[in-house]
Structures are given as structure tokens and as C-alpha cells.
């Protein structure tokens, strides 16, 4: 997700110490929460399986989240914005607590950007995250043919990236879809419709989750 704030000038693509810390904490926390859903060690699941799932989540769920947010930042900076990710520690805590009872809803934070901007530029900044996830899904897809951990990484990578793209394209509240729809209905439909259809197939028919 991306959020707009007040104006500034002379932006550049840098990552402050706080931003790096927030990205790292959000990356690890989401990965652990996801692992708790699929290998609930607190309910008697083997510790080894849980740790394996944490590692798998770091390179799938974590990467999906990380590159989604960085994409927002890169495009925002290209449009002359000052942009920085801020973790939402309350939501990260809720993600962990929810995972412990078998439910995961994650809103780990957002890229906040400021500076003069047009509606089109704001829409493109918002669009960058979901599109990045769709491209990542394509990159993970070939790994699904392997019968080993590579196949599992491919399956998780495709599933989480498509679901994340579809979720963020919902035109509601702070989600990316709202800004994209406000800018261009055609572009919104072009990304939203296939993302939602693919996510539905993955969840209800293919069973990647």
C-alpha cells in the first residue's frame, strides 16, 4: 500500500536506517505469521517443519511483500516524491496473534510519499505494487515443475503474489486499487479483473493455499 502526505523537494532513492529496520521487521514478522498458519508449532506441529516453513515464507511471502513496497517507493521517487516505508507495529502484532488462532490478516505498513503529484502519477505509484506481484508470480511459475523444495517455493510464490495483487487492487480504503480506479477505470479493470479471477482459481480450485 502507498499513502500520500504533504509536499517536499529533491527526492532520491535512499533507504534510511529506520526504513531498513521497518522493512526487515515487517518481512520477518509476516513470514513467521504465515509459517504459523501452515505449520502451527504451538499446536504440536514439528519444530523442524515450522522452521522450514519460516525459511520458505521468507523467500516467498517476504519477498512478495518487500518488492511490492519497494516498487511503490521506486515509482514515487521517479515522480519526484520523497518516499519511505513505515511499518505498522500494531498490525504486525495482530498478524502474529491472528496466526496463532489460525487466521491471518496482514497490513504490515505502507510507503508514505510527499511532493507535488498528478492523479495519474499517484495512480501509477499505487499500481506499481500489484503489478510487481503479478510479475513475481510469473517468475515463480517455472519452479512449480520441480518435485523438491523448489516446487514448493514456486507454488507458494505464485499463490501469495497473485492473492496479494488481487487484495491490494480492491478499491477500498487505503488499498492500491482505490487510487488506480480514481485515475483510470480501464487500467484498473485490466489489472483487477484477472488478478481476482486468478486468485479465486488458486484459492478455491487449485488449492495452492
Q: Is 72:109 a contact under the CB 8 Å cutoff? A: no
Cell numbers for 155: 507454488
Determine the straight-line distance between the first and last CA of the chain, rounded to whole angstroms: 23
The whole-angstrom separation of Cα 84 and Cα 108 is 14
Residue 69 bears catalytic tag:
yes
Place of cell 480501464: 186
d(CA 169, CA 66): 17
Going from the C-alpha of 174 to that of each of 40, 72, 126, 168, 169, the distances in angstroms are 30, 14, 10, 9, 10
Rg of the chain, C-alpha, whole Å: 17
Asked if 79 contacts 124 with a C-beta cutoff of 8 angstroms, the reply is: yes
Q: Which of 19, 45, 69, 121 is catalytic?
A: 69
Active site residues: 69
Amino acid at each position: 500500500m502507498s499513502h500520500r502526505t504533504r509536499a517536499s523537494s529533491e527526492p532520491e532513492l535512499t533507504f534510511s536506517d529506520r526504513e531498513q529496520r521497518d522493512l526487515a521487521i515487517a518481512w520477518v514478522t509476516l513470514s513467521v505469521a504465515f509459517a504459523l498458519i501452515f505449520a502451527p508449532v504451538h499446536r504440536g506441529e514439528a519444530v523442524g517443519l515450522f522452521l522450514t516453513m519460516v525459511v520458505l515464507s521468507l523467500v516467498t511471502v517476504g519477498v512478495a511483500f518487500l518488492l511490492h513496497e519497494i516498487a511503490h517507493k521506486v515509482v514515487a521517487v521517479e515522480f519526484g516524491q520523497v518516499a519511505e516505508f513505515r511499518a505498522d507495529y500494531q498490525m504486525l502484532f495482530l498478524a502474529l496473534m491472528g496466526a496463532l488462532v489460525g487466521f491471518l490478516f496482514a497490513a504490515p505498513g505502507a510507503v508514505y510519499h510527499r511532493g507535488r503529484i498528478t492523479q495519474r502519477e499517484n495512480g501509477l505509484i499505487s499500481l506499481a505494487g500489484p503489478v510487481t506481484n503479478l510479475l513475481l508470480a510469473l517468475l515463480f511459475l517455472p519452479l512449480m515443475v520441480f518435485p523438491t523444495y523448489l516446487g514448493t517455493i514456486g507454488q507458494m510464490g505464485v499463490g501469495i503474489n497473485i492473492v496479494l495483487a488481487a487484495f491490494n487492487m480492491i478499491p477500498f480504503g487505503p488499498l492500491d486499487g482505490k487510487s488506480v480506479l480514481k485515475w483510470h477505470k480501464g487500467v484498473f479493470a485490466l489489472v483487477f479483473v484477472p488478478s481476482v479471477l486468478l486468485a479465486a482459481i488458486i484459492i478455491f480450485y487449485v488449492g495452492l493455499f
